[in-house]
Amino acid sequence: MSIHPTQHTEDTLDGLRRLITEIGQGGGLVSPSVYDTATALRFDTFPDARESIIAWLLDQQRSDGGWGLSSVPRARALPTLASIVALHPYRDAAPRVRQACEGALAFLRDQAEHWGTSLPDDIPVGLELLMPSLLHEASSLGLGVDSTPYRALSALGDRRRALIAKARPGAGSAASHSWEGWGSGSSRDLLDESGGVGHSPAATAAWLHASRDRADLADARATARDYLLQASRSTRVGVPGIAPTVWPIDRFEQAWVLYALRILDLVDHPRLADVVRPKLLDLRAALRPEGMGMSDAFVHDGDITSTVIATLGDLGAPHALDTLRRFEKDGMFITYANELQPSLTTNAHAIHALACHGEKAPEPTRYLLRRQEPDGRWVGDKWHSSWLYTTTQVMLALLQEGQMSAVKAGTEALLRAQREDGGWGAGSVSTAAETAYAVLALFAVRKDRELEAMTRGAWHRGSRWLMANADIELDQDQLRWIGKELYCPARVDRAWILGALLVSRPS
């Protein structure tokens, strides 16, 4: 599909070129995290920034007393409880802090209905380890937080702790990312090559607190503190201790930006190829026989590995499929070893990677078909809270497998969900990234004549909304990726938005 050389297209191309050259720089750009910032405050990691951190936390509180996105209620418990615990020592210093804590406690009481006897697959990362630990701390402070609603979560945490004790995970492991919820001691060996613990500002702040009396660890403590300063810079807030939920993510950022370009057939675009190809070659060189992780210092995972292999296509390593098969378990594909919840999008990306090498994926395909909702959507992925992202990724995979009936049902779900303003959003408003996902899905299905006719009008309306709203600043409604709390890898979302703009030609 040709792209008209309008000024809009030129501006979009210039923006995309700049973004491609920047991917991976500074360890990646990530939105600030309430939970990790509250943890830094709880352990008073940056006393000189204490007042600024408290003010920032208070500014993030919602009118209902909680922290986090209201449309994803189970992602709100951790940042809210962490903020209560962190702010508790300062409740008598300022009326606003006391009011914030009281409102948050009332909010948690009202949230009990969202925690039943069973747990979905899309709970935040490490929640089963972190929430019980914070509940214990809240109890010791006499805060009166009822732990009863979280019994199923605590039971899952007990299972995870047993697996962790058996595996004895080290630096850069998936388990180390949630070390503050299960670890003890202050071993120097916990620090990975990033300088932190588990690519987690919260875990690193906890480690610094645990090692505060260890004079023999002065150098390691300085390294960990520098890690937290660098992680804080990645948020661009400018306050030490206002940190992201994960950092660094340079390989994650690189992989997903380039994957967006591959999906949108923009890798060989004449105005982009000269900046894209060096990034692709670097990605290929970084792919190890064991796979790839969010950075070169973190454990390899099946989702990033699948995405990289699909992105590289014919540039892929000679044994790419052998690498991918390392994450195959009982015919399905996992993200990390010993995970207790499957991922829709990890299996979708594995299907795409296999298809790039002429291979079929019957079991993951059957799994995705089973998980389609009666209304045509796919919901409940463990890495992203928006059904629009999950549905788009699964539709792209099933297109590779020729599952047109399921793709058509997914397309109809997207058409029904389009808002009157032309955009899409899983919450209360349309967002640029979610609209870009929907526009991308409608772009992809246009290869089918029936679906092209069905989607033409919606695609144009969505493209026009995206053109008018692509530069809206990031706010809480746009935090959709699932970490310990919802977050945004800013360059990744920006790549989907700019890419969708570039292939859109609204009439």
The number of C-alpha atoms within 13 Å of 141 and in the hemisphere containing its C-beta is 20
pLDDT at 4: 47
What is this structure's pTM? Answer: 0.94
Both tokens of residue 242?
Answer: 């206002």
Backbone torsion region of residue 405, taken as left when φ is above 0, otherwise alpha when ψ lies between -120 and 50, otherwise beta:
alpha
Dihedral angle over CA of 371, 373, 377, 379, nearest 10: -60
Which residues is 197 bridged to in the sheet?
Answer: 191
First and final CA of the chain: distance in angstroms? 15
From the list 298, 296, 346, the residue with the least C-alpha distance to 324 is 346
What is the dotted CATH code of the domain comprising 34-233? 1.50.10.160
Residue type, 142: G
Q: What is the DSSP letter of 246?
A: S
| Contact between residue 169 and residue 175 where contact means Cβ atoms under 8 Å apart | yes
34-233 and 10-27+249-502 share a CATH fold? yes
Query: Could you tell me which CATH class the domain 10-27+249-502 is placed in?
Result: mainly alpha
From the list 428, 438, 440, 436, the residue with the least C-alpha distance to 477 is 428
Which residues lie closer than 8 Å to 67 by C-beta, 6 or more apart? Answer: 34, 57, 60, 61, 76, 79, 80, 83, 104
Which residues is 30 bridged to in the sheet?
Answer: 489
Q: How do the domains of the chain map onto residue ranges?
A: 10-27+249-502, 34-233
pLDDT at 474: 62
Residue type, 23: I
State the DSSP H helix or E strand holding residue 9, giving kind and residue range, or none if neither: helix 7-22
Digits of tens for pLDDT over the chain (507 positions)?
444 446 778 889 999 999 999 999 999 999 999 999 999 999 999 999 999 999 999 999 999 999 998 888 999 999 999 999 999 999 998 999 999 999 999 999 998 888 877 788 788 999 999 999 999 999 999 999 999 999 999 999 999 999 999 888 899 999 999 999 999 989 999 999 999 999 999 999 999 999 999 999 999 999 999 999 999 999 999 999 999 999 999 999 999 999 999 998 899 999 999 999 999 999 999 999 999 999 999 999 999 999 999 999 878 777 899 999 999 998 899 998 877 778 999 999 999 999 988 999 999 999 999 999 999 999 999 999 999 999 999 999 999 999 999 999 999 999 999 999 999 999 888 999 999 999 999 989 988 899 999 999 999 999 999 999 888 666 667 789 999 999 999 999 999 999 999 987 544
Both tokens of residue 348?
Answer: 């979708």
pLDDT at 2: 41
pLDDT at 393: 96
Which residues lie closer than 8 Å to 48 by C-beta, 6 or more apart? Answer: 240
